[in-house]
Structure 1
Amino acid sequence: MISTADAVVIGAGHNGLVAANLLADAGWDVLVLEATQVPGGAVRSAEVTAPGYLSDLYSSFYPLGYASPVLRGLGLERHGLSWTHSPDVLAHLLPDGRAAVVNRDLDVTAASLEAFAPGDGDRWRHAYADWLQVAEPMLGTITSPFPPVRGGLTLLRRLKVSGALRLARRLVVPVRKLGDELFAGEGGPALLAGCALHTDLSPEEAGSGVYGWLLAMLGQQVGWPVPVGGAQKITDALVARLVERGGRIEYGARVDRVLTARGRAMGVRTAGGADWRARRAVLADVPAPALYLDLVGAAALPPRLVEDLAHFRWDGSTLKVDWALSAPVPWKNRAVAGAGTVHLGADLDGLTAYAGALARGELPRDPFLLVGQMSVADPSHSPPGTESLWSYTHLPFRRDWRAEEVAGHVERMEEVLEDAAPGFRSLIVGRHVAGPADLEDAEPSLVGGALGGGTAAAYQQLFLRPIPGLGRADTPVDRLFLASASAHPGGGVHGAPGANAARAALARDRLLTGDLYAGVIGAAHRTVYR
């Protein structure tokens, strides 16, 4: 028997669930097929270290999710989602023991930076004022389909030509250069660069500045909040909202083929041989190479597209460790004790050395750590007086990591923490290690432990994401749409790729039953891939 729906969504990651919700809102019958036994993709929580200690298994802090017009528009608070904040947003702990701290109180942040250089507090205020001028239209632009006409016009009206040109420059300047232009001391540049290193970009790489600026300024504006009760609450709310609107989710249903006829997606086939027909659209919350090469197949695609996919670049592999601690982290510098997120292990030059080792395919001897103090942000993550802690660090992209390599790097990570917080190791009552292969085994979209669905480098962004000519959710296969982080605008829990795919599917369905839309999109793809 063939099951039928208006739309079949491949993958119940947050982007797939966002897309399914928006289509359900439009009155479509929506079926989501999830390969694993649980929804959420990289937005999930579980007790993996010790009883009573909750860990966010992948993503944790959500400035983009909190600020995203896409997620905000879904009203997930009506389905149990609520947010909470750590006392301080972010701290960057330098090797010499000093710390730069972002707090939602602008005066507190300014005072922290002023300690690094006279005038840097006011320089931070000025940078934040610049951000506030563009924040709303910029977030709208980031989360809209490419080209972002409405948001772009709003920015142009607000900034005029000269201001728009300055913003355009900021979008491509390296974060080292940006920090040098904005601040006199080490604190501000370290904060920006540490934020930029959430991506796979080096401090000297074009475009790294905008990521550092965006995350740091969002921290000042809205904080880096977490869902009360863990990341899973975002997924639970998306699922509850979808089910309320009649959407269906099938678990353990791994799609291994998109079924096409006459250049049009007709449905999918799952690994057990079951066929699922899509009357209107197929949306795929899977990485671009998996969609095009595995599910569609090279024979059904333009040869130039297949050639370009050979140059698709993943972001780096990831090693994540969760700890259950019997007490809070005993930081030598207590200024970082109240920060939900702590960056440590490197100053700006150290970040450059770390990124250089990754670029050479080497394991950094001195890893830069991103640390999450979950119980500081949300005490429900662990018993009173304890801490649920995690840390992750980037590795060169590979899919063949040996167990001894992973174990050796975990040892280095714990050495960095022990140096910053003597006695840290004595507090460990449970540990959970997720190397690159573990991350991919648990969530197949995290290929090689890459979290971003592809590099954040400028040559694979906007109309170049995932490859030249595929800057929108539309694909060369009619009625098939890419809804994952491999599509514009990329990684992060903000829902934009899923929303963009849903909008594209609705637009294709509206315009003369899709024939006009399909003709225009098809002509564009033929121009690129002829």
Structure 2
Amino acid sequence: MTDVLVVGSGPNGLAAAVTAARAGLSVHVIEGAETIGGGTRTLELTLPGFRHDLCSAVHPAGLASRFFKSIGLDRSIEWIIPDASYAHPLPHGRAAIAWRDLERTVESLGRDGPAWRRLLMPLVADINGVVDFTGSQLLRMPRHPVTAFRYGLRSLEQGTRLWNSRFTEPDAPALLTGVMAHAAGGMPSLASAGAGLLLAAHAHAGGWGFPVGGSQAIADAMAADIIAHGGTIETGRRIDSLRELPRARATLLDTSPRLLLTGDLPSRYRRAITRYRYGPGLAKVDFALSAPVPWANGEIAESPTVHLGGLRHEMAAAENAVVNGRMPAKPYVLVTQPSLLDPSRAPAGQHTLWAYTHVPSGSHFDATETITATIERYAPGFRDVILASSSQSAAELAARNPNDIGGDISGGAITLWQLAKRPVLSPTPWRTPVDGVYLCSAATPPGPAVHGMNGWYAARLALRDRFGLEPPLDV
């Protein structure tokens, strides 16, 4: 009988397997797809030689992950860290750029530059304290209380109707709202503000890194570590019910909590899982390009990541429409062109482009024309450099990956309540009522992002519960 069984080879499942294998236990990973990685897979989706990230593309949380650092993943992967973390086109050909250099950003934002510095400098200066607070349970006493307090105050400001009180011009609010929209929630809201401030702080601290060769490099590095420590990985075997699980002393599920509904659960826990909410879906389009995106403002080409959506009130209106089940007339679009700095992603002189927009849960909407037209608005001639495209609706994303309920890639709606109750309110939410079964997906604390912390927390708990072992790593 295997000591530890892990279902799902997303970054959290692999992190759980790494932790258990390094503890000297026998570990077996089961993955439903033919390739490992979950949301950190890189595939040829358009034309031969064009390698596209299936889901995640840029990984500020991965670059800063305490777990990844503790196992040396930051050294085994070649990271690219752009000088410009993200860019935001504005009306009349202008653009706001979040440079990795905070002072360069301050200078570029004009009258609101000092306000940007006052907002983010305390978080950038103690980015480790911010990562510790946001990378753990909200129920836990923070190890850096002053930093947590500063982060909380800023989230309260930017997550309420006070969010414009700090700024006098439109550029800085738009730049910040572009990262807040990553949370796919209503705005202003505390959860979206917290997510945006964390990403913005990363932008000026370690930067928005991405791995050479694509996100698959993260999964491959962890898989190699598992195998080096005696673990095994099986692909092409989908688990649809707890009754299908092979015997193991401990089982960790990098899956949606809904898989637990196939087992015998106490009524209270079953109700909690049934009531657990999922957020909006994504409609994603990958492009193979004959040349870089011809941005009208040349500075935008300095950044692989670009947020499209206009001014703060326009993006808020678009995201609020989606949360309420409507398609916005002018959607928010997130664009990433990793081939700008990573020539391994496309044939010589050509480029890959990754883009998505938020849509109502379960939508069958094909976003190809919407995203193309949105990019064309800021990059006239974009249509002329498209060689091929591949689109996936929210419904297709959900069919491809049972974790992505309704096309929600975050493992559940990102709200303040669901960051505390993920998926249940408990000091040990990774432990389930099913004997020996633990949940380690993005539906557990600390929530979504490629950092492996969910898997590490769950594995640490399983090691103590089932084997009487202390974790082999301390992050």
**Alignment partners' CA distance in 2, 1:379 and 1:392:** 22
The aligned runs of 1:88-487 (5 Å cut-off) are 88-114=84-110, 118=111, 120-144=112-136, 147-149=139-141, 152=142, 154-156=143-145, 159=146, 165-175=149-159, 177=161, 179-258=163-242, 269=244, 276-279=246-249, 281-290=250-259, 292-294=260-262, 296=263, 300-398=264-362, 401-402=363-364, 405-406=365-366, 409-462=367-420, 464-469=421-426, 472-487=429-444
CA contact (8 A) 1:226 1:377 kept: no
Equivalent residue in structure 2 for 1:66, among 63, 67, 71: 63
Q: Number of aligned residue pairs: give it.
A: 470
Closer, same or farther in 2 for the Cα pair 1:77/1:196, shift >3 Å? closer
Closer, same or farther in 2 for the Cα pair 1:497/1:334, shift >3 Å? same
The one-character-per-residue Cα deviations of 1:94-139 (angstroms, maximum 9, x if unpaired) are 244321101112232112211xxx2x22222222321134421221
Q: Give the deviation of 1:188 after TM superposition.
A: 1.8
Secondary structure at 1:491's aligned position in 2? coil
CA RMSD of aligned residues (A): 2.1
**Alignment partners' CA distance in 1, 2:168 and 2:14:** 45
Structure 2 gaps of 5+ residues are 471-475
CA contact (8 A) 2:133 2:148 kept: no
CA contact (8 A) 1:32 1:250 kept: yes
**Alignment partners' CA distance in 2, 1:164 and 1:413:** 37
Aligned residue type for 1:206: L
The one-character-per-residue Cα deviations of 1:23-53 (angstroms, maximum 9, x if unpaired) are 1111111111111111100001112112222
Structure 1 gaps of 5+ residues are 260-268, 271-275, 514-530
Secondary structure at 1:308's aligned position in 2? helix
Partner of 2:473: none
Aligned residue type for 1:447: I
Closer, same or farther in 2 for the Cα pair 1:384/1:338, shift >3 Å? farther
**Alignment partners' CA distance in 2, 1:187 and 1:471:** 42
Q: Give the deviation of 1:212 after TM superposition.
A: 1.1
Secondary structure at 2:86's aligned position in 1? strand
Deviates more, 1:135-144 or 1:62-71: 135-144
**Alignment partners' CA distance in 1, 2:11 and 2:469:** 31
Partner of 1:519: none
Aligned residue type for 1:508: D
CA contact (8 A) 2:87 2:95 kept: yes
The aligned runs of 1:46-57 (5 Å cut-off) are 46-57=43-54
Partner of 1:85: 81
Secondary structure at 2:208's aligned position in 1? coil
The one-character-per-residue Cα deviations of 1:326-379 (angstroms, maximum 9, x if unpaired) are 111111111211111100122111112102221331111211110001111322
Closer, same or farther in 2 for the Cα pair 1:376/1:179, shift >3 Å? farther
CA contact (8 A) 1:86 1:339 kept: yes
**Alignment partners' CA distance in 2, 1:338 and 1:166:** 31
CA contact (8 A) 1:174 1:207 kept: no
Aligned residue type for 2:261: L
TM-score, scaled relative to structure 1: 0.84
**Alignment partners' CA distance in 1, 2:121 and 2:412:** 32
**Alignment partners' CA distance in 2, 1:146 and 1:357:** 28
TM-score, scaled relative to structure 2: 0.93
Q: Give the deviation of 1:218 after TM superposition.
A: 0.4
Q: Give the deviation of 1:11 after TM superposition.
A: 0.9
Aligned residue type for 1:473: W
**Alignment partners' CA distance in 2, 1:66 and 1:358:** 30
Q: Give the deviation of 1:289 after TM superposition.
A: 1.8
Aligned residues: percent identity? 37
**Alignment partners' CA distance in 2, 1:214 and 1:164:** 12
Closer, same or farther in 2 for the Cα pair 1:499/1:71, shift >3 Å? same
Deviates more, 1:503-512 or 1:319-328: 503-512
Q: Give the deviation of 1:174 after TM superposition.
A: 4.2
Secondary structure at 1:121's aligned position in 2? helix
Partner of 1:505: 462
Rg comparison, structure with higher value: 1
Aligned residue type for 1:244: A
The one-character-per-residue Cα deviations of 1:67-87 (angstroms, maximum 9, x if unpaired) are 0101111212564x1101234
The one-character-per-residue Cα deviations of 1:199-239 (angstroms, maximum 9, x if unpaired) are 12222223221111110110111111110111111111011
Secondary structure at 1:201's aligned position in 2? coil
Closer, same or farther in 2 for the Cα pair 1:391/1:293, shift >3 Å? same
**Alignment partners' CA distance in 2, 1:307 and 1:236:** 37
**Alignment partners' CA distance in 2, 1:508 and 1:75:** 26
Partner of 1:39: 36
Closer, same or farther in 2 for the Cα pair 1:77/1:135, shift >3 Å? closer
CA contact (8 A) 2:82 2:100 kept: no
**Alignment partners' CA distance in 1, 2:393 and 2:33:** 19
